[in-house]
Chain A
Amino acid sequence: KQEVTQIPAALSVPEGENLVLNCSFTDSAIYNLQWFRQDPGKGLTSLLLIQSSQREQTSGRLNASLDKSSGRSTLYIAASQPGDSATYLCAVRQGSLTGANSKLTFGKGITLSVRP
């Protein structure tokens, strides 16, 4: 059974700092990995999707990397801003011989606070 872990559960940094959020998963046979942002009381906003054949994806100040063999992904946020404060979740979609499983398996998320 796939398990996704995100540590630490919470992180507080001063504005302007570059930071890395970690995600690990137990079964490396994944189809893809998605990073999401969730604001309090809101739904999930997709940030980046990395296919299993890719090593990284970039969008603006965000860069996500994937090391499938070691079961790890990182989300790098450059020059953090107070508006980046939110919970960041990673989720994996399992692969299989006949195609990808449908569901995403999520971590519990990392709650980020960026202090002005």
Chain B
Amino acid sequence: GAGVSQTPSNKVTEKGKYVELRCDPISGHTALYWYRQSLGQGPEFLIYFQGTGAADDSGLPNDRFFAVRPEGSVSTLKIQRTERGDSAVYLCASSLTLGEQFFGPGTRLTVL
């Protein structure tokens, strides 16, 4: 596809469950970013990959959050023991190194 894609578009889960969110970046983009957006707020940075490695994970709120990008393309954001405060829209973006960031449509996560 031409743009960044994210699946699922919506995810409803119960408190304490484990969830995985997937991001397919634009083909050829070496950099991949995860952000989280709460209602009425701008997106907040979570983690940045350059290739397969996490170059900056300073935005992950705690050790329940983890992300991987094993082959330098698709990335998965994993959240363990979900809490109601994790409810938000999770956005993925990709770019050429230091280039313009292009965003996907997001995954809306609701923790009941």
Q: A residues engaging B (CB < 8 A)?
A: 4, 31, 34, 36, 41-46, 49, 89, 91, 93, 99-109
Contact = CB atoms under 8 A, between A and B. Distances in A.
B14 interface: no
Residue among B35, B55, B108 with most chain A CB within 10 A: B35
Interface in B33-52: 33, 35, 40-45, 48, 50
Interface size class of B (residues with CB under 8 A): 20 to 34
Contacts of B101: 34, 46, 104
Contact of B56 (A43, A89, A103): A103
A108 B33 contact: no
A112 B9 CA distance: 25
Contact of A46 (B44, B98, B103, B104): B103
A100 B45 CA distance: 15
- Chain A interface secondary structure, helix, strand, loop or mixed? strand
Contacts of A108: 40-42
B31 A102 contact: yes
Interface of B: 4, 31, 33, 35, 40-45, 48, 50, 55-56, 59, 91, 93, 98, 100-106, 108
A106 B106 CA distance: 16
Nearest to A4: B42
Residue among B42, B50, B56, B102 with most chain A CB within 10 A: B42
A100 B31 CA distance: 13
B33 A43 contact: no
A44 B42 CA distance: 10
A102 B105 contact: no
Nearest to A44: B103
Contacts of B104: 43
Contacts of A99: 98
User: What are the 10 A-B residue pairs with the smallest beta carbon separation, nearest first?
Assistant: A106-B42, A103-B45, A102-B48, A44-B103, A43-B105, A43-B103, A49-B100, A102-B56, A43-B106, A108-B42
A91 B55 CA distance: 20
A101 B31 CA distance: 12
